């Protein structure tokens, strides 16, 4: 194992996370169903190949120990309190909040990192983005020996040039979703400042709460898979998706109204979302797996079947995007529905090294398995194949199509 240390702390603010981690934490905090819930999260790397990730473990450990010393500052809490849907009692919960090393289980598993977070939902949920960004940046520094800043700037300039070469991008916008897989925190800041200065009409903000606050950018984000997965353990399995949608409405009353569609496949989502009650309360939908063109056509038809004008709704695409792909999707749907994009790895880790495709997913709630069944084979993550097949049967999905 490597004994190399970075010269700085990779996380020095608890706001250095995606906004939806904060909004989901508040929803969990207020939902009586989750007061006594214990969860387990598991790390996975989808493209490890022959790379020995265990060399990073000593420094991951050290960085996580530092993370667990941090608290939200008064200035950070004042920033969060300005959002009308972030409630005073939750702000006071965050004022006392600290992460704890006792919930972290980190060791070597061959050439893999075995990393799990196991503890009360309210006290381990936030680990996800911090840990992913730590691992991603350590991979850059230790495994790749850094990156060529000149090359990275050239790649960013090429992306901006592609956008500027389009004659008409009216209605086109994209946000940064790249915190979890960034090459480095410093590079993320440089990219954001560059986009803010050079793409003022198309760059719409960032999911990073820290950089939204410090750089004066709009912050974006609503919910992720953990919100839908958690309900599998606290309600009837066949009703879990509907319960999650209703629970979000209960918390935010129509605000933060972008629903994620791929925890149980788009087709099952359409079945549960087809009530105009949801269609009118939610502002739009987010795509995160499967063919974006098929998904977009289904989403438009879903709204039309509810007698809702798709031009009053927004579709957000966030799966494996680059600039040409965003432009292609936008041209397909412009004039038919509002379209927005969240771009992550290709924006924040296109620096000449192979970026790690890393995730940390919830795998149990109160000792029971939970899962997502993605529209893209291979994105499903579950440690109990029997449960995964049963979950598929409850949502009209052919178990033969499952790939874990």
- Report pLDDT digits (tens) over 121-137: 999 999 999 999 999 99
pTM of the model: 0.96
Q: What does pLDDT average to over the chain?
A: 95
Q: What is the pLDDT of residue 151?
A: 98
Percent of the chain with pLDDT over 70: 98
Asked whether the predicted pLDDT for residue 95 surpasses 90, the reply is yes
In this prediction, residues 85-111 reach a mean pLDDT of 96
Asked whether the predicted pLDDT for residue 46 surpasses 90, the reply is no
Q: What is the pLDDT of residue 345?
A: 96
Q: What is the pLDDT of residue 15?
A: 98
Q: What is the pLDDT of residue 117?
A: 98
pLDDT digits (tens, 9 = 90+) for 232-266: 999 999 999 999 999 999 999 999 999 999 999 99
Q: What is the pLDDT of residue 88?
A: 98
Domains contained in the chain, CATH given: 1-146+358-367 (3.20.140.10), 150-222+257-348 (3.20.140.10)
Asked whether the predicted pLDDT for residue 228 surpasses 70, the reply is yes
In this prediction, residues 76-99 reach a mean pLDDT of 98
Cross-strand partners of 343: 176
Q: What is the pLDDT of residue 48?
A: 81
Q: What is the pLDDT of residue 378?
A: 66
From CA 318, how far away is CA 159, in angstroms rounded?
17
């Amino acid at each position: 194992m490597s004994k190399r240390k970075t010269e700085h702390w990779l996380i020095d603010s608890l706001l250095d996370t995606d906004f939806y981690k904060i909004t989901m934490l508040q929803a969990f905090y207020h939902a009586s169903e989750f007061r006594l819930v214990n969860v387990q999260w598991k790390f996975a790397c989808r493209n490890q190949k022959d790379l020995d990730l265990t060399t990073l473990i000593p420094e991951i450990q050290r960085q996580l120990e530092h993370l667990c010393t941090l608290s939200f500052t008064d200035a950070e809490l004042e920033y969060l309190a300005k959002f009308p849907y972030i409630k005073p009692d939750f702000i006071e919960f965050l004022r006392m909040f600290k992460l704890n090393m006792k919930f972290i289980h980190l060791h070597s598993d061959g050439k893999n990192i075995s990393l799990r977070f196991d503890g009360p939902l309210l006290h381990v949920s936030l680990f996800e983005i911090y840990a992913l960004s730590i691992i991603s940046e350590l991979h850059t520094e230790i495994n790749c020996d850094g990156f060529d800043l000149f090359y990275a700037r050239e790649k960013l300039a090429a992306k901006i040039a592609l956008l500027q070469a389009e004659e008409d991008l009216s209605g086109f916008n994209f946000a940064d979703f790249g915190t979890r897989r960034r090459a480095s925190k410093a590079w993320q800041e440089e990219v954001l400042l560059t986009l803010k200065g050079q793409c003022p009409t198309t760059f719409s903000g960032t999911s990073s709460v820290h950089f939204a606050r410090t750089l004066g950018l709009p912050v974006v984000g609503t919910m992720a898979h953990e919100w839908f997965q958690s309900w599998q353990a606290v309600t009837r399995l066949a009703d879990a998706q509907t319960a999650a949608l209703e629970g979000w409405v209960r918390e935010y009353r129509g605000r933060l109204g972008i629903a994620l569609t791929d925890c149980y496949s788009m087709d099952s989502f359409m079945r549960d979302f087809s009530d105009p009650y949801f269609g009118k309360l939610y502002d739009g939908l987010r795509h995160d797996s499967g063919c974006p063109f098929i998904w977009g056509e289904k989403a438009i038809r879903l709204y039309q079947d509810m007698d809702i004008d798709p031009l009053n709704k927004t579709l957000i695409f966030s799966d494996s995007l680059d600039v040409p792909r965003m432009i292609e999707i936008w041209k397909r749907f412009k004039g038919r529905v509002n379209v927005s994009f969240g771009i992550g790895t290709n924006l924040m880790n296109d620096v000449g090294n192979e970026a790690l495709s890393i995730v940390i997913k919830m795998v149990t709630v109160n000792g029971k398995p939970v899962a997502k069944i993605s529209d893209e084979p291979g994105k499903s993550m579950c440690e109990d194949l029997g449960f995964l097949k049963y979950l598929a049967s409850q949502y009209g999905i052919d178990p033969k199509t499952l790939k874990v």
